[in-house]
Structure 1
Amino acid sequence: MTVDYRCFELDPTMERDAGYNIYEKLSSKYGMSLDQAKANCRNMEQMAYELGLDFRFDTQVLTNTFDAHRLVMFSKEHGRMHEMTDRLLRAYYSEGQHIGDHATLVDLAEEVGLYRAEAADMLASNEFSQAVRLDEQEAEQYGIKSIPFFLINKKYAITGAQSPEVFVQSLQQIIEQDGLTVDQSGAACDDDGCELPDTK
């Protein structure tokens, strides 16, 4: 099955109040009809549903996500990056929340255990702007233009929503090409030692 993942757009360059929907954006960006854009997104919603996920593109609020990215950087310093990222994605793709709005972001930050006042102060400042810009530059250097995008060992890329079989095959090829071995604990090993998997 071929998966069109162009419904997934987190855009830190878009205006805060876009005034158009995901279907109109996809139609303009990729030169497809509105019906094609809707069909692609319906397909993604159905696939997500089969995996226990709830995507609702009809209610998605397109917005500039730069401040949401800054909030993720802020949450990383407080050990809540994974929780914050998950909460933002759920708010954006499933709940139709405006994740470009500071009040919404502060509420979401509090939900994952961050202090409201600290999150609000950070969002009112320019803090973490440079970190987000550096991430954007690095993504550009690696040719990352859409999500999902998986970069392995900073030289191998797996793009798009792939099946588990494709991931396994790709990882096996990478292990062979880089001369790695994987022991039963999941540690990747070469002549310089082993790198334990990140279990955070």
Structure 2
Amino acid sequence: MGKRRLEDAIKQINHPIEVTYRCYELDPTAERDIKENMYQMLARKYGMSIAQAKVNTGNVVQMAKEVGLEYQMDTMILTNTFDAHRLTMFAKTQGLMKEMTERILHAYFTESKHIGDHQTLTELAAEVGLNREAVEKMLASDEMADAVRADEQTAKQYRITGVPFFLINKKYALTGAQPTETFVQALEKIISEDEITILNNQDGTVCDDDGCEIPNK
């Protein structure tokens, strides 16, 4: 949801902006196959009732709809996401990280696919144009694990404890799925601060590739 709002904000800004996705696991200790559903997990983790968990997730589902996303909380399959992150890092080496990230997110939140399952990940990778055999080989090994761990270590250095987290120019940060207008305002402010401000008038000597122009006095 935060990703979609950021994308909507970028469309409103007439300035080149490069987005890089980073790896972050909410629960690195999670099993690949989890019997609990989303409501049961939230109730256990936060000490609430199943009914309250459904109310809380219902609010998230509604917010997602407002940006054109369909979250299927009832059938969402919880899992360990480390291999999914490895796949996105592999896709990055092929210039397809954006497409792979979007496909995995849609598979998880909307299609209720098991994104911890290697066969599922391989199918998703093939859909975005990655070589099936290369992905199968990568998932069967520990390839890209170091790249994922490096991102997670960077997150610790920045004291990031949750997602979504947006780090801009390695200096400014926005946390949470902020409204689109908040992203627009923040980006415009940062862009304006990065622009060069000329403090003197135009009476000085100006040189370029064609030589130097002496101002008339």
Give the TM-score normalised by structure 2: 0.73
Of the candidates 55, 77, 83, which is equivalent to residue 71 of structure 2?
55
Residue 65 of structure 1: CA displacement? Answer: 0.6
Change (3 A) 1:130 1:166: same
Q: Deviations along 1:60-91, whole A, 9 cap, x unmatched?
A: 10000100000001111111111100000001
What is the distance in 2 between the residues matched to 1:109 and 1:11?
23
Q: SS in structure 2 opposite 1:151?
A: strand
Runs of 4+ off more than 6 Å: none
Give the counterpart of 2:148 among 115, 121, 132: 132
Equivalent-residue separation in structure 1 for 2:176 and 2:48 (angstroms)? 19
Q: Which amino acid aligns with 2:102?
A: D
What's 1:120 paired with? 136
Q: Given residue 126 of structure 1, which amino acid in structure 2 is its aligned partner?
A: D
Residue 10 of structure 1: CA displacement?
5.3
Q: Structure 1 residue aligned with 2:194, among 175, 180, 200? A: 180
Structure number with larger C-alpha Rg: 2
- Partner of 1:157, secondary structure, is strand
Is the CA contact 1:13–1:66 (under 8 Å) kept in the aligned structure 2?
Answer: no
Structure 2 gaps, min length 5: 1-24, 199-217
1:158 aligned counterpart, secondary structure: strand
* 1:111 partnered with 2:115: no
**Preserved CA contact (<8 Å) 1:11 1:66:** no
Q: 1:25 aligns with which of 41, 54, 75?
A: 41
Aligned positions, number = 174
| Structure-1 residue corresponding to 2:182 | 166
Task: Indicate how the Cα distance of structure 1 residues 29 and 83 shifts in structure 2: closer, same or farther if over 3 A, else same.
Answer: same
Distance of 1:68 and 1:11 partners within structure 2? 13
Identity of aligned residues (%): 59
Partner of 2:86: 70
Aligned-residue offset at 1:190: 7.8
TM-score where L is the length of structure 1: 0.79
Measured against aligned partners, the alpha-carbon deviations of 1:129-164 in whole angstroms (never above 9, x if no partner) come to 111111111112222222211011222211111112
